[in-house]
Chain A
Amino acid sequence: KAGVTQTPRYLIKTRGQQVTLSCSPISGHRSVSWYQQTPGQGLQFLFEYFSETQRNKGNFPGRFSGRQFSNSRSEMNVSTLELGDSALYLCASRRTGGFGDTQYFGPGTRLTVL
């Protein structure tokens, strides 16, 4: 079974631009979560979608948004990029997102903001 895929793998943007990242979950998984990983803050939860609905949101500004499509694929968008947004953005999927449902990560998209 194919794992979680993320595109693009690498991205370079300049301050003020916006960016859209894409995630395809494992087949049959309906829950998709997004995380930001930086050396200083570690892995931080952004948001989680299940059946096209956002179920939970982390403590990030409104510039960070996401959505999920009917085929469970998800996108996240960051508007008005700042230097501090440079990070590895990880997508993770799980079957339903209920307690005990294990989460599997994709390889990530490395975003560099210049």
Chain B
Amino acid sequence: QKEVEQDPGPLSVPEGAIVSLNCTYSNSAFQYFMWYRQYSRKGPELLMYTYSSGNKEDGRFTAQVDKSSKYISLFIRDSQPSDSATYLCAGDSSYKLIFGSGTRLLVRP
């Protein structure tokens, strides 16, 4: 079993939709969680990071962590075609990040 599981998609939504991206994890040692966005042929770009259970909001993005069920989510409001990318969740453990496989998102104009 992978330490971080993520549906690879692709997920296709119309412009303006609310997008929900999800990951589950098995490593109880994870204390921090990150969401990265990666455009084709580019390096991952940090979007959000969270520590405790609950929500964290930044503009159109909301990250949610539920440590009791080992579930992390990223919500994107008013999605734009420029949001089309691969979204990677990661848990922080012992100086290294453990990544999910990434979900490919396509926002249709």
Contacts and interface: CB of A to CB of B under 8 A. Distances in A.
Q: How large is the interface on B (under 10, 10 to 19, 20 to 34, 35 or more residues)?
A: 20 to 34
Interface stretch (A13-21, A40-48, A67-75): A40-48
Contacts of A100: 31-32, 49, 51, 92
Interface in B91-105: 92, 94-102
A56 B94 contact: yes
Interface residues of A, number: 26
Interface string B73-91: 0000000000000001010
Interface in B43-96: 43-46, 49, 51, 88, 90, 92, 94-96
A43 B51 contact: no
Interface string A60-92: 000000000000000000000000000000101
B101 A104 contact: no
Contacts of A43: 44, 88, 90, 97, 99, 102
Contacts of B88: 43
Contacts of A4: 43
B49 to A, nearest CB: 6
23 contacts: A31-B95, A33-B96, A35-B97, A42-B100, A42-B102, A43-B44, A43-B90, A43-B97, A44-B99, A45-B98, A50-B95, A56-B96, A90-B44, A92-B97, A97-B95, A99-B32, A100-B31, A100-B32, A102-B46, A104-B46, A105-B44, A105-B46, A108-B42
Interface of B: 31-32, 34, 36, 41-46, 49, 51, 88, 90, 92, 94-102
